[in-house]
Chains A and B, each alone.
Chain A
Amino acid sequence: MSAISPTAKPKLGRNFRLQWEPAQQAHVLLYPEGVVKLNGSAGAIMSRCDGTRTLGEIVGDLERTYATAGLAADVEAFVALAVERQWLEVDE
């Protein structure tokens, strides 16, 4: 699992769709014949990965939204995992 640069702009993987499901009170990831229900923090991260914001900006936004600091490592680890699973893509 390679580290992702703070200037990378992650976006949703091809073949995946992300949406908020009121019935489940959660973000879900949809793909051919599959659903992944995301937990709160995964949903908060994924929904910010729109290909226009850098990973650094996403971390900043999350820290402001949740009034906390030091999220960088966790967010980066999740994004790396999501890239590995092809939920997210980053242009090299």
Chain B
Amino acid sequence: MSAATTDPRGASKAAGPPLWLLCELTYRCPLHCVFCYNPTNMPDIGPELDTSTWIRVLHEARALGAVQLGLSGGEPLARDDLEQIVAEAHRLGYYVNLITSGIGLTEERIKALKEAGLDHIQLSFQDSTREVNDFLSSTRTFDLKSKVAALIKRYGYPMVLNVVLHRLNIDHIEEILEMADRLGAEYLELANTQYYGWAWKNRDALLPSREQLTRAEEATNRFRERIGQRMRIYFVVPDYFEKRPKPCMNGLGSIFLTVAPDGVALPCHSARILPGLAFPNVKESSVEEIWYRSDAFNRFRGEDWMKEPCRSCPERTRDFGGCRCQAYLMTGDATNADPVCELSPHHHLVVEAVERAERAVNGAAPVREVPLVFRDHRRRA
């Protein structure tokens, strides 16, 4: 595979700047979400980067033009240098987003983060399903989240809530919407689970049925009509129910750069699963080398890597053939069309997964109990 600079057609592979930098500061997390997108072999992954390396990454990416910064994990609050990282990012001119479960977000820390220049906190209701009842019956988790939500408002942050939906909680959409409203959310993302990492392991237990999904969308629309402009609600349909894939990451290597806790640079946070790619590490290479010259980032730029039916498909400039990780997970080959696409010869795999979900939800077939695998950074799945 030739590097970007030697591609004779040049333009198709010439990459723009990595506008979005996602720093997964740690895989440590007090929760055990069954839909977690983190890798399922966390114990095999090397130690976390130190503060000075993270700060170098921020400098180098900013110099290339990165402007949106996500700080996530795991639970980023598990790092006690978070305030220091935020302060440096702010000084460099990033718009700094913290993606957190809220656990560990005390008033002291939220104040220090505000002073450091944090722009936005996305509070995730990443209920661990072990606690789904607690979460839905609005007791312990709700108390914690309401405290954190109140702090977020008191310190003048936009109030953005994210709730991951799946078979086990989607029927409670009305309670979830009411809860978001009571917490004073200005934005609510109802994100259906995406099936990577731990969620992939748990797919047969988490994928909702089409009927569940339709009911949830209808309830969301009714709620939207009732409350008007007060809250902006984004309902993200699971792509398994679509006929065309999502333009995943806007094409790998086009705007997103993820740095994992151990320093491995990835064109999307789940790309570590893709075989045959040597992912560079920020400990050994500069962000510029990684972004513009590494094989891992050039491999899926442009269209040379595509196979039929994508290669000759007029829609390839819109969806870039969909998600490489999904293609690999389902078909064993990352260069295939995303099987979510109806034109993919592997589309039946998606249809079958949805059919299994229908049967499980409706109890038509003998329900095989699917054990859930709880995310644990100390164990492999």
Nearest B-chain residue to A19, judged by Cβ: B93
| Contact among A17, A21, A23, A28 for B119, CB-based, below 8 A | A17
| Contact among A14, A15, A33 for B70, CB-based, below 8 A | A33
Query: Are A33 and B122 also in contact (CB < 8 A) when A15-B158, A17-B95, A24-B17 are?
Result: yes
Check if B212 is an interface residue, CB within 8 A of chain A: no
CB contacts (< 8 Å) of B68 on chain A: these are: 30, 33-35
Structural contact, A33 and B120, CB atoms closer than 8 A: yes
Query: Are A30 and B122 also in contact (CB < 8 A) when A23-B17, A35-B19 are?
Result: no
| Contact among B65, B160, B187 for A21, CB-based, below 8 A | B65
Expressed in whole angstroms, the Cα–Cα distance for A22 and B70 within the complex equals: 21
Check if A32 is an interface residue, CB within 8 A of chain B: yes
Q: How many residues of A contact B (CB 8 A)?
A: 15
User: Which residues 157-181 of B have a CB within 8 angstroms of A?
Assistant: 158, 160
CB-defined interface of A26-56 with B at 8 Å, one 1/0 digit per residue? 0010111111000000000000000000000
CB contacts (< 8 Å) of B186 on chain A: these are: 15
Q: Which of A14, A19, A32 has the most CB of B within 10 A?
A: A32
CB contacts (< 8 Å) of B119 on chain A: these are: 17, 30, 32
CB contacts (< 8 Å) of A30 on chain B: these are: 67-68, 95, 119
Structural contact, A32 and B67, CB atoms closer than 8 A: no
Structural contact, A32 and B93, CB atoms closer than 8 A: no
Check if B3 is an interface residue, CB within 8 A of chain A: no
B164 to chain A, nearest CB (A): 16
Check if B97 is an interface residue, CB within 8 A of chain A: yes
B15 to chain A, nearest CB (A): 12
Structural contact, B65 and A23, CB atoms closer than 8 A: yes
A9 to chain B, nearest CB (A): 22
Structural contact, B70 and A21, CB atoms closer than 8 A: no
Size category of the B interface is: 10 to 19
| Contact among B64, B67, B122, B187 for A28, CB-based, below 8 A | B67
Nearest A-chain residue to B19, judged by Cβ: A35
Expressed in whole angstroms, the Cα–Cα distance for A24 and B97 within the complex equals: 21
CB contacts (< 8 Å) of B95 on chain A: these are: 17, 30-31, 35
Expressed in whole angstroms, the Cα–Cα distance for A17 and B158 within the complex equals: 12
CB-defined interface of B43-65 with A at 8 Å, one 1/0 digit per residue? 00000000000000000000011
CB contacts (< 8 Å) of B67 on chain A: these are: 19, 21, 28, 30, 35
CB-defined interface of B82-106 with A at 8 Å, one 1/0 digit per residue? 0000000000010101000000000
Structural contact, A32 and B65, CB atoms closer than 8 A: no
B347 to chain A, nearest CB (A): 31
Expressed in whole angstroms, the Cα–Cα distance for A24 and B17 within the complex equals: 8
Nearest B-chain residue to A32, judged by Cβ: B120
B123 to chain A, nearest CB (A): 11
Q: Which of B19, B95, B122 has the most CB of A within 10 A?
A: B95
A83 to chain B, nearest CB (A): 13
**12 A-B residue contacts at CB 8 Å?**
A14-B158, A17-B95, A23-B17, A23-B64, A30-B119, A31-B120, A32-B160, A32-B187, A33-B120, A34-B68, A35-B67, A35-B68
Seen from chain A, the residues whose Cβ lies within 8 Å of a Cβ on chain B are: 14-15, 17, 19, 21-24, 28, 30-35
